[in-house]
Structure 1
Amino acid sequence: MTAALRLVDERGLEHVTVEDISEAADVSPRTFFNYFAGKDDALLGGPVPDGPSIHERLLAVPAEVPLVHALFEAITPDVAGIQAERDIWLLRLRVIKNNSSLLPALVARGECSEEETVAAVAARTGKAADDMFPQLVATTAGAALRTAMMRWATHDDRDLLELVREAFDILAAGLTEPTEEKAPR
């Protein structure tokens, strides 16, 4: 909810109430609670959008596509949606950065998303969800996405999809050390 993000960006999280947000959005507090569990939920993005899940999208990618590239294809609609709402997402990321009390809710959301990715990778690869491989793939894919988003939000003028593609290409290459610019040890 943009009104919540703007108010918290201006005043700080502790100086904004649900009533303030409701007034700025021109809705009643009751209506606010029809859509959000609370202030944190409004700031972090609210309910998950309709449409195919990461699980469905990953399983729809042809089996001959290597796993990391298939994961990139599966998350591309989400990344495109974030890019399309660039101003709101940059505001959201700034609010999160400046209000560390939002981190537990953000971590919980990330964990749910990661569990869904683990299940999708397990289904695609035939591994058990409690096997290390799907868990490690989901964790590293999440880290690649977060890294690309933080670069996009802070100091990289490139398109988010380009940054995510680069991060996933690095993963697909097996995190091998770049040869053209070796850093000194």
Structure 2
Amino acid sequence: MKKNVWLFSLLLFTLILSGCGQSIQDPLNWELEEFTFTNQENEQIGLADLKGEVWLADFVFTNCTTVCLPMMANMTDLQEQLKQEGLDVKIVSFTADPAFDTPEVLKSYAQNYGADLTSWHLLTGYSSETIDKFAIENFKTIARKPEDQDQAMHGTSFFLVDQNGVVMKDYNGLKPPVDDIISDIKILAAEE
């Protein structure tokens, strides 16, 4: 009888410890470089402003006729689900077409999707060369607008960034695994 109580206690203790030590599975650990760009309110937003926050990032542009439409709809839906879960998560969308996407254009675009702009920054105010280099070096993705085309090329991932400005995970932005994203955000939020 004492042996069974001891085994049960050991098992219970092990389960409690394993629940406390959750961490992101296979983190990317890509440190972001400092940046400061202009959001849809004509405010300067940079990495320093996002320190201490868990945030999601993606690359889109307003004249996109293909992947941006489902990506924006998916991110808006995800934003709503995060609110329902009581999770305070910022969203940062970098435009891949900064020459066209002014703050005003970005604001109107996001409003058409019903985005809550109190926690969503749509960024512009840089050159096409700057965002392409920034995307490759920091998010390992492209954000390139060929000069002779009206469509930009960009990745379709959603990126999870921790409170220290480190990219922890990337997810398919066309079919986001919402439960996994929420679970990973909860893990990061618990580490605060």
Answer yes or no: same fold by TM over 0.5.
no
What is the TM-score when the length of structure 2 is the normalising length?
Answer: 0.21
- Structure of higher RCO (CA pairs closer than 8 Å, 6+ residues apart): 2
Which is richer in helix?
1
Greater share of residues in strand: 2
